[in-house]
Amino acid sequence: MTRQRDHDGSVWEMNQEVLRRRDPGLAEVLAQVAPGSQVEVLAGRRGRPTLRVRGRTLHSLYDPENEASLWVEQNRKIIEGVSQILIFGFGLGYHLRELVKINRAQLLVFEPSLEVLRAALETLDLRDVLDQARIFQDVEVALPHLKEGFVLLEYPPSVKVWEEYFQKVRCRLKALQRKGSPLKIQVVGPIYGGSLPVARHCASALRSLGHHVDFVDCSLFKEVFLSIDKWTPDVDHRNNLKEAFVQFASDAVLARCVHYQPDLVVALAQAPLPPRALETLRRLKVPIAFWFVEDFRLRDYWKGIAPLYDYVFCIQREGFLDLLRSSGIERCHYLPMAACPQTHRPLALSQEEIAEFGSDVSFVGAGYYNRRQFLTGLLDFDLKVWGTDWDLHSPLGRCVQGDGTWLETETIVKIFNATKININLHSSTTHEGADPFGDFVNPRTFEIASCGAFQLVDYRTEMAHLFEIGEEIVCFKDLEDLRQKIRFFLHHADQRREMAKKARERVLREHTYEHRMKELLDFLYQSGLELPPWSAVRENAEAMLRKAGPETPLGRFLASLAETGELSMDHIVDAIRSKRGPLGEVERIFLFLHELEQLYGRSNG
C-alpha cells in the first residue's frame, strides 16, 4: 500500500486536531481503526492519490481534482442559497474540498466505511471540510441534525460501492423530505359501528392538516349488510352471506384504491379489509396503517390482520403493545381517542331545547349489560337515558327517551350541552358496573369535554395521562361514589362549569383528531414511510421552482402560481384557464401536456 501525502508533516495529525474539536467521538473511533484490506490508497498518474474499494476507484486516476470540480459544477445550481447539504459518500474528500470552496452551507456527510474515513484523513488536508461538515454512519443519529429544506447530493462512485446502505438512507431521507408536503391518503371506515364516526373525523382532520383525502365510506353498504340477518334464520347461511358480502366490500375498497392511487391507506377497526385484500395492498406496495380503536381483549380479530399492516395504532398500552411487538409487529404505537371540536362544541340552547334534551343526570349510548345494571341505581335522580339497546320493560325503561332510537350526532351534542351531569360509564358485558381494571378511555370522554359539558366518568388507568383528575375531570369508582359526587355537583354549578371549561381547554390543546392524525403521520415518517411506486413525485413548489430555474420563463410562470405551495398539473391548468387574454408559450406547453395525457393516457395511443 502506497501512501501519498499532500505535503510533509502529518496530515493525519492536522485533520485529527480539527476533528477532535468538532466531533471528538468520531475522532476517537477513527484513531482506533486499523487499516483493512478492503480499502486501498493508490498513487494516481499525476501524483494525486485515489482510493480503491472492492475493486472500484472512488476518484479519477488521472485528475481527481478536475473531476471533483466538475461534480461541484454540475450541482452548483441546486445548492445555491441552501442552508444544509447532505452528501452521500466521503471518499478521499476531493469533491468535498471543492464544494467548501464555493459554498458555506453546513454539510452532513454519510459514509458507511470508517476505513475510508481513516484513509481520507491520512491522505488529504481536509481541515476546511471537517470545519464545515459532520460525518455520520447511522442515519438515525443524523436525523435530529437535519434542517428543513436540505438538499441531497450523491457522490456516485461511493454510492455504487455501498448501494444497499445508501438506498436505505435515501429512503429514510425521502420520507422526511416529503414531510410537510401533502399526501394522498385514503381513509377506509367500517360498514357500521362505533369506529365509523371516528373514520369520518380522521378524514376531515387529515384534510385540515393539508392532505388530499379520499374517505371510503363503506356505510353505504350498511343497509344491505344489516338486512342479511333478516334474510334467513339459518345462522350458518347468514354467516356465509356476510362473509361473501365483506369480500365484495373489500373488492370495492380495492377498486377505489387502485383508482385513487393513494400514498397511504388508513383503515379503522372493522374496515372491510380481510387478509386477502391486505395482501393485495402489500403487493401494490401501498403503506397501510391500522387504527384499532377497540378493546383488544374483547375483539380479538386483530390477531389475524394486525401483522398484515405496516403500522398499527391502538388505544391500549399495557399488555397490548408488548403483545403486538412479540407478534412481530415492530411499528406499533399508542394513539388514544379524541374529539372533533367542530362537531362536539358548546351550544347555546333555547328553553325548549333545554327542556327537551336536558336533565339533571343523563346517559347517552348503547345499553350494554353493565350500564343497564348500573344506571338502575340512579333511578331516584332526574335521569334521562338515551340511545339504543335498552330494555324498555325494565325499571330503567321509563327513563329511556324516545323509545330507544338511534340518535343523530347533532342531537347528542345538544343532550351533552343541556345535561347538568353527563354520566360516562365505559361499557362492559361482564361487569355489574365499572371495570376496575379498565384501561383505555372512550371517545365519549373527549366528546363531552369538547362540548364544554360536565361529566362524571369511571376510573380508567389511562385517564390520568389524558386529563388532570380533580382539576379537569372527575372520576368515580362505584355506584356509591357516583351518587355522592352527583349530589355534590348538582349543588355546585360553578364548579361544574369550571371543570368543564378546563376539560375543553385540555381537549383543544391535546386531544383533537388533528392532534392524533399529526401524531400518526409523525410516527409513520419516523419509522420510515416508503411511498408506493405510483406515487407521483409531488415536489413542493420550491423544489419545482429551483428545478425550473427562477430566471427562466418557466420559472417565472411557476412563481406566479406558487402561493398555494403545490404545483400539480390540475392546479396549473386551472390557473391557465381562469386567466384572460392571449396564451403564451409556457401556457401552451402545459396545456399540450395536459391534453396529451388526457387523450393518450386513457386510450394508450
Partner 1 sequence: MKEERERMKRVLIVNLTRMGDLVQTTPVLRGLKERHPGVEISLLVNSNFADICLMMPHVDRVVPVHISTLVERIRRGALIEAYREVETLLHGLNEDTYDLVINFTHTVPTALLISLIQAEEVRGLSIDGEGFTVKRHPWIRYFFNVVPNRALNPFHLCDIYMNAAGIPPKGQGLHLHLPSEMKQWARSFLRENGVEFGSLLVGLQLGASAEDKRWPVSCFVQVADQLERVFGARILLVGSEEEEILGQEFERSAAVRPLNLIGKTRLVELAALLSCCDLFISNDTGPLHIATAVGTLCVDISVGSVRARETGPYGDGHYVIEAELPCSPCRFHSHCPRPLCKEIISPHMVMEVVKGILQQRGLLVRLPPSDRWRHVQVYRSFFDEEGLIDYRPLIPRTPKLEEILRYLYRSTWLRLINGENGGRAESDLEGVLRKIRLWHRTRGVPGDVKADLVKVRGVLYQLRGLVDGGLSRATWIAKESAKAAPNLPWIQDLGEGLEDVEAEMETLALTHSVLKPLYLFFRYGKESLTGEDLRDLAEETAQLYKEMRLHIERLLFLIEGVGRFHASKRAVAEEEGCRGLAASISLNVVGKEAMSQQ
User: 431: which 3 cell numbers?
Assistant: 361487569
Give least dist CB 583 to partner 1, A.
5
Give least dist CB 452 to partner 1, A.
44
Our finding on whether 244 is near partner 1 (CB under 8 A) is no
Q: Supply the DSSP symbol for 294.
A: S
Give least dist CB 151 to partner 1, A.
16
Report the residue number, 74 or 240, with the smaller CB distance to partner 1.
74
Report the residue number, 172 or 538, with the smaller CB distance to partner 1.
538
Our finding on whether 593 is near partner 1 (CB under 8 A) is yes
Our finding on whether 585 is near partner 1 (CB under 8 A) is yes
Amino acid at 111: E
**386 backbone φψ class: left, alpha, beta (φ>0; ψ -120 to 50):** beta
Give least dist CB 282 to partner 1, A.
22
Cross-strand bridge partners of residue 264: 185
Report the residue number, 211 or 538, with the smaller CB distance to partner 1.
538
Report the residue number, 235 or 537, with the smaller CB distance to partner 1.
537
Q: Which residue, chain included where needed, has cell 347517552?
A: 364
Q: Where are the alpha helices (DSSP H) in 124-162?
A: 127-132, 139-142, 156-161
Select the residue interacting with partner 1 from 33, 539, 556, 562 (CB under 8 A). 539
Q: Are 56 and 160 in contact (CB under 8 A)?
A: yes
Give least dist CB 565 to partner 1, A.
15
Our finding on whether 220 is near partner 1 (CB under 8 A) is no
3-state secondary structure of 588: helix
Our finding on whether 588 is near partner 1 (CB under 8 A) is yes
Select the residue interacting with partner 1 from 45, 101, 259, 547 (CB under 8 A). 547
Our finding on whether 568 is near partner 1 (CB under 8 A) is yes
Report the residue number, 244 or 593, with the smaller CB distance to partner 1.
593
Our finding on whether 102 is near partner 1 (CB under 8 A) is no
Give least dist CB 74 to partner 1, A.
16
Q: Kindly indicate which of the ranges 58-66, 166-174, 392-400, 596-604 contains the residues binding partner 1, using the contact rule CB under 8 A.
A: 596-604
Cα separation of 509 and 338, whole Å? 11
CA distance to 166, 223, 228, 301, 593, per residue, from 236 (Å): 54, 20, 12, 19, 56
Q: Are 546 and 540 in contact (CB under 8 A)?
A: no
User: 389: which 3 cell numbers?
Assistant: 339497546
Our finding on whether 569 is near partner 1 (CB under 8 A) is yes
Our finding on whether 537 is near partner 1 (CB under 8 A) is yes
- Strand order across the 39-42 sheet: 39-42, 50-53, 56-57
CA 280: distance to chain centroid? 22
Supply the DSSP string of 505-571, one letter for each residue: HHHHHH-BHHHHHHHHHHHHHHH-----TT-----BHHHHHHHH-TTSHHHHHHHHHGGGSB--HHH
Give least dist CB 496 to partner 1, A.
54
Interior CA angle at 365 toward 359 and 368, to 5°?
120
Q: Supply the DSSP symbol for 558.
A: H
Our finding on whether 235 is near partner 1 (CB under 8 A) is no
Select the residue interacting with partner 1 from 131, 223, 570, 597 (CB under 8 A). 597
Cross-strand bridge partners of residue 187: 215, 266
Main-chain phi, psi angles of 450, to 5 degrees: -65, -30
Binding mask 492-531 for partner 1 (x = CB under 8 A): ----------------------------------------
Our finding on whether 348 is near partner 1 (CB under 8 A) is no
Give least dist CB 281 to partner 1, A.
20
Give least dist CB 208 to partner 1, A.
24
Give least dist CB 579 to partner 1, A.
10
Q: Are 461 and 440 in contact (CB under 8 A)?
A: no
Q: Supply the DSSP symbol for 298.
A: T
Give least dist CB 254 to partner 1, A.
20
Report the residue number, 423 or 567, with the smaller CB distance to partner 1.
567
Q: Kindly indicate which of the ranges 148-156, 286-294, 384-392, 581-589 contains the residues binding partner 1, using the contact rule CB under 8 A.
A: 581-589
Report the residue number, 230 or 580, with the smaller CB distance to partner 1.
580
Q: Kindly indicate which of the ranges 412-420, 447-455, 512-520, 539-547 contains the residues binding partner 1, using the contact rule CB under 8 A.
A: 539-547
Our finding on whether 570 is near partner 1 (CB under 8 A) is no
Q: Kindly indicate which of the ranges 81-89, 107-115, 366-374, 562-570 contains the residues binding partner 1, using the contact rule CB under 8 A.
A: 562-570
Our finding on whether 572 is near partner 1 (CB under 8 A) is yes
Helix axes 235-260, 222-231, angle to 10 degrees: 160
Q: Supply the DSSP symbol for 339.
A: B
Q: Kindly indicate which of the ranges 22-30, 219-227, 407-415, 597-605 contains the residues binding partner 1, using the contact rule CB under 8 A.
A: 597-605
3-state secondary structure of 546: helix
CA dihedral (545, 550, 555, 557) positive or negative: positive
Report the residue number, 47 or 605, with the smaller CB distance to partner 1.
605
Our finding on whether 589 is near partner 1 (CB under 8 A) is yes
CA 542: distance to chain centroid? 23
3-state secondary structure of 156: helix
- Strand order across the 383-386 sheet: 383-386, 361-364, 421-424, 455-458, 474-476
CA distance to 392, 398, 468, per residue, from 403 (Å): 7, 9, 37
Select the residue interacting with partner 1 from 196, 361, 482, 544 (CB under 8 A). 544
Q: Are 187 and 121 in contact (CB under 8 A)?
A: no
Select the residue interacting with partner 1 from 301, 437, 488, 592 (CB under 8 A). 592
User: 42: which 3 cell numbers?
Assistant: 493508490
Our finding on whether 548 is near partner 1 (CB under 8 A) is yes
Give least dist CB 443 to partner 1, A.
37
Q: How many CB atoms lie within 10 A of CB 584?
A: 12
Give the binding site for partner 1 (CB under 8 A).
Answer: 536-539, 544, 547-548, 554, 567-569, 572, 581-583, 585, 588-597, 599-601, 605
